[in-house]
Structure 1
């Protein structure tokens, strides 16, 4: 008499045990039998073609990385060239930076960046009680993006307002300033004719 060691039950199959199992579409991997035979070994030519395709796909990625590396130094140079005012405030979760490039907000792992031409208004608000400083960036398409930063002390609010006002005065162009500049240019062109 022959005895088998181990379980005599077959493994269960179906959607209850394999979330990828779809009856009628695919056969489950565990249902292969010896009759199906081993999978065919790919021929040498097929392997070489696959490797060539992988290398061709990797080439554009390497070119993009090289372009990004070249672009990074120019951006760094641009940052060092501008000596204008910069506003930066942060706490353990939130961070805000306003400089010549625009306004950048980040909260935990989420980031957003606004160029100065994308900003309609910047609003600040301080909590009546507590140490929360709220900055809201409004865009021309009626969307707003608030961020709350917890200050180390309430005395920082005045300092932060002054720094942010200096940055906004230096880089943010309001519609009135744009209209005034347009009128000045129009008058100058009329005088030149």
Structure 2
């Protein structure tokens, strides 16, 4: 199954979008009916969804989706307020002269970066600043706010890629967010965090390797 789904009853529009995305090496599945799409909806990373679909209103379909990011497309700008919601990343006017450019920009942003899916929440790894363990819970501090999950820091450590590193029993940091490395502390964003002795040399080597990549 491909990463992207297009859901629109307009056959011509679907073919246009499919060609555009395939020309940029994206795998695409097309659905002309909401009823056909819904059983597979949460298997995609990104859904390009027409807000007006005869058998299923796009807004109602949005409410069934918990995992994929959603780009709403429509010829009706008066529907924009109804389109906002969880995981909705854009609302594009089909008549916009820059429609193709804007669409490709959002598609590249939300399919080419790895993400975490915890329950109904999807977080791009590139948006994470650091993670803070709080017993059986972990607070994920991101550029879009803080998210508290009933998962241990160890659980998250197994889900993250090598851009992240454990620095303390209570903290994992995103190496991309580090602005200063001290002997016993590290600065990520605007926050200073402690570095345990057992992690200091490993963190130093990892950061140096990362900085010179």
TM-score, scaled relative to structure 1: 0.28
More strand by share: 2
More helix by share: 1
TM-score scaled by length of structure 2: 0.26
